Amino acid sequence: MIISTKGRYGLRAVFELAKAHGQGTMSIKSIAEMQDLSEQYLEQIFSKLKGAGLLVSTRGAGGGYKLAFDPKDIAVGKVLTVLEGELAPAECVGDDAAQCDNVALCTTHVIWQRIYDGFNDVIYSITLADMVDDYQKMLSSKPQAKDVRC
């Protein structure tokens, strides 16, 4: 399973909103500049996130986007699954698992299930607030650190 640019860029963009939580809205243009992303692509990503209820938008002068919830209440997993769909290593695991006639005898099904469970445990245990905290720790431990994007 590889997370696409939609998932990676979306997570980077909502990270900017999490850092600015409580300070009003941010324009797509400013987020795109901060993260060196395409504004048009970011509009598509934010449209999905807004449709899922994770973002709120305001029109007009001074308008933009903000998180619909506190960053501590938004799991990284929720952002990723809104943008990517269910993240599973094989078709036979997950919520939309295809029924396999060999599950009872399949030697690899247990492995795929454990990978799926472990991955989801991780991404749903990390919140946007955790990302911001980790970022602050990185900056404080390396005073000369530059903001590097993944």
Backbone angles phi, psi at 143, to 5 degrees: -55, -30
pLDDT at residue 90, as a whole number = 87
The distance of Cα 44 from the centroid of its chain, to the nearest Å, equals 14
- Tell me whether residue 100 is in a domain: yes
**What is the spatial distance between Cα 26 and Cα 127, in angstroms, rounded to a whole number?**
20
Q: Which amino acid is at 121?
A: D
Q: Which of the four pLDDT bands, split at 50, 70 and 90, describes residue 51? A: very high
SS (H, E, C) 3-51: CCHHHHHHHHHHHHHHHCCCCCCECHHHHHHHHCCCHHHHHHHHHHHHH
Q: Which of the four pLDDT bands, split at 50, 70 and 90, describes residue 47? A: very high
Instruction: State which residues form the domain around 97.
Output: 5-141
Q: Domain count for the chain, please give it.
A: 1
- Tell me whether residue 136 is in a domain: yes
CATH code of the domain in which 101 resides: 1.10.10.10
pLDDT exceeds 90 at position 13: yes
- Tell me whether residue 103 is in a domain: yes
- Tell me whether residue 147 is in a domain: no
Q: Which amino acid is at 19?
A: K
Hey, how many other C-beta atoms are within 10 angstroms of the C-beta on 55? 25
Look at 150 and 53; give whichever has higher pLDDT. 53
What is this structure's pTM?
A: 0.87
- Tell me whether residue 148 is in a domain: no
pLDDT exceeds 70 at position 50: yes
- Tell me whether residue 149 is in a domain: no
pLDDT at residue 14, as a whole number = 98
Residue corresponding to tokens 């454990």: 114
